[in-house]
């Protein structure tokens, strides 16, 4: 491997270490493979929570109608009842409740409120920083472009 290729490899490794997450298209979570008739494992349920989270630019919110009231949720929050999650995951409501309590105990989620619907915040949710690329992304792309033009 040439020295330039080594630099690019190390830069890519640094980029991966900085981001520490993978993007998954929404279509995956809407596919028949994901939403089949089988009971979800705990791992699948945990990942599914991320697919259900409201996703917007950091600190933006949305007001959603819940029964006869309106509830505001923020980026990284899920507003969904235990019965709805139970039906989605093919679990009992007791199992869903125990699972959410365990996730809160391990500090993966923070239960915000339970009435009129359960709202919880995903602690490790990765917020979008801005509507455009953030400065770190742009800096890395510029470095890669500069290295490619020097070859």
* CATH for 31: 1.10.10.10
pLDDT, average across residues 97-107: 96
Question: pLDDT tier at 35 (50, 70, 90 boundaries)?
Answer: confident
Continuous segment of H or E residues that includes residue 112? strand 109-113
43 is a domain residue: yes
More confident residue, 107 or 138: 107
Answer yes or no: is 66 within a domain. Answer: yes
Q: Are 97 and 84 in contact (CB under 8 A)?
A: no
Closest by CA to 79, choosing from 57, 95, 58, 62, is 62
Q: Is residue 11 part of a domain?
A: no
Say which residue, 115 or 3, is predicted with more confidence.
Answer: 115
Tell me the whole-structure pTM to 2 decimals.
0.70
List, for residues 58-82, the tens digit of each pLDDT value: 668 888 888 788 888 988 999 999 9
Q: Let me know: does 126 contact 21? Beta carbons within 8 Å.
A: yes
Instruction: Please calculate the CA angle 57-22-39 and round it to the nearest 5 degrees.
Output: 100
Residue 41 lies in a domain: yes
pLDDT: which is higher, 13 or 38: 38
Length of the chain, please? 151
What is the rounded radius of gyration, in angstroms, for the C-alpha atoms of the chain? 20
The number of angstroms, rounded, from the C-alpha of 117 to the middle of its chain's C-alpha atoms is 20
* Number of domains making up the chain: 1
pLDDT of residue 32: 85
Q: Which of 127 and 20 is assigned the larger pLDDT?
A: 127
| Predicted confidence (pLDDT) per residue in 118-149, tens digit | 899 999 888 777 655 555 545 555 555 555 55
Q: Is residue 5 part of a domain?
A: no
Flag whether 145 is in a domain: no
List phi, psi (to 5°) of 50. Answer: -65, -35
**Domain that residue 68 falls in:** 22-125
Cβ-proximal residues to 137 (8 Å cutoff; 6+ apart), any chain: none
* 95 within a domain of the structure (yes/no): yes
Task: State yes or no: pLDDT of 90 exceeds 90.
Answer: yes
Residue 134 placed within a domain: no
């Amino acid at each position: 491997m040439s020295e330039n290729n080594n630099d690019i490899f190390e830069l890519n490794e640094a980029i991966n270490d900085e981001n520490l997450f993978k993007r998954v298209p929404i279509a995956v979570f809407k596919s028949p493979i994901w939403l089949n008739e089988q009971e979800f494992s705990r791992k699948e349920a945990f990942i599914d929570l991320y697919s259900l989270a409201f996703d917007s630019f950091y600190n933006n919110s949305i007001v959603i109608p819940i029964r006869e009231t309106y509830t505001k949720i923020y980026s990284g929050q899920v507003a969904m009842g235990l019965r709805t999650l139970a039906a989605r995951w093919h679990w009992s409501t007791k199992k869903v409740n125990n699972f959410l309590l365990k996730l809160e105990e391990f500090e993966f989620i923070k239960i915000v409120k339970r009435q009129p619907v359960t709202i919880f915040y995903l602690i490790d949710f990765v917020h979008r920083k801005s509507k455009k690329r953030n400065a770190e992304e742009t800096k890395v792309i510029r470095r890669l472009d500069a290295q490619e033009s020097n070859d």
